Structure 1
Amino acid sequence: MTARKHAPRMGREERTDRILEAARDLFREKGFDAVSMCEIAGRVGVVEGLLYKYFATKRALLLAVLAHWYEDLFGDYARELAGLTRHRDRLHRLVWRHLRAVRDDPRLCRLMFREVQSERDYHGTELHVLNRRYTQLLLDVVTAGVAAGEFRADIPPTLLRSMIYGGIEHHCWHYIHGRGRFDIDQLATQITAVLCEGLAPAAASVRKPRLVRTTGTVS
């Protein structure tokens, strides 16, 4: 009789990657609530009980999926920003990259906005730390722009961070729920224009009012 060949056992890291990949795909396809741990295990090809050795709950698995996604979002940010000299261009790049993430993966964005950020157990997690690190890139660009005299100094960078990411979430809300579309190049340019014209140093943006003489009035 020919000896039966067994498939090689996966190491812990490889199995974790397989679980994350299967969960990510199913969450994208069906949403968080409609997916069971049993279904994820079936996609991986393991018994359901094994998943709980890696992730205590389905929500813990969701947080891990999104954390892995955030790590991918960083990509080559540092290299891209280093190649841009004007702070306006650096700001545009960050806005554009964020819009691209929304356009390319609306379902994961929806999970992040609806299932995670509004919940109490989000703060202090690895995902929360990654999100802060991600948005810190924007704070650094704005702060550097202020120091260089390219941006005005009387607007808190944290307020701009909230305006940018909160504004994008609001503007793209219909899209991430499967309705409509948007042009990331056009939108990134528009957002950057609004921000940078408002960020211009006061001396450059304030002009003396022009006097126009009319019959009996001065304006």
Structure 2
Amino acid sequence: MRLRNIPGAKDEMNQNPNIVISNPSQHKGNWSKLFNNDHPIHVEVGTGKGQFLIGMSMLNPEINYIGIEKYESVLLRALERSKESEQENVKFLNEDVGNLLDFFAPGEIDRVFINFTDPWPKNRHEKRRLTYKGFLKLYEEILNPEGEIHFKTDNQGLFEYSLESFSRYGMSLHNVSLDLHKSGIEGNVMTEYEERFSRKGMRIYRCETKFSPKSI
């Protein structure tokens, strides 16, 4: 799907530096100072229009949230929502997920959310999937030893691939759901895509996973 370019999107972000953080590498290892507290930090990769992250920030004021989205026209809506909510515990980065190590120090993050990412179904595009081993290596670096990845998708093929990718990487799986909205899980905040797909009666797949402790 081709994204519609919105004139002035970048300018709007630049006018809200307290929400969309420019030069995030300057805060590497010091995000707690930017939030002005020592609360846990949760990151959503590919945050889209921000519905999930802002919903989570409202439910959990004791947690800091950072959403990463590379498309300006998409992130603009997240910025607008953030301004409407007036939540101070959520920030956004207009950056590429592949550069995570430039923004966060080892062990600085407590949780990573991957929600309804592009499945990239063709085999030649495997390396672009956000649950590919190359991305898992990045998440492992920035997560603390007890950190988790929470993953949701409507795509069964991507879910099966991701479970296999997690397992091959030596990660442990928890709370695996093949039909999230019938699982009785509490505190689920839906993304824009999740709302759309669930209204159509489509299954939502979800799991939580952790990295194995590194041997010394």
Superposed pair shares fold, TM > 0.5: no
TM-score scaled to structure 1, two decimals? 0.28
Question: Which has the larger strand fraction?
Answer: 2
Question: Which has the larger helix fraction?
Answer: 1
TM-score scaled to structure 2, two decimals? 0.29
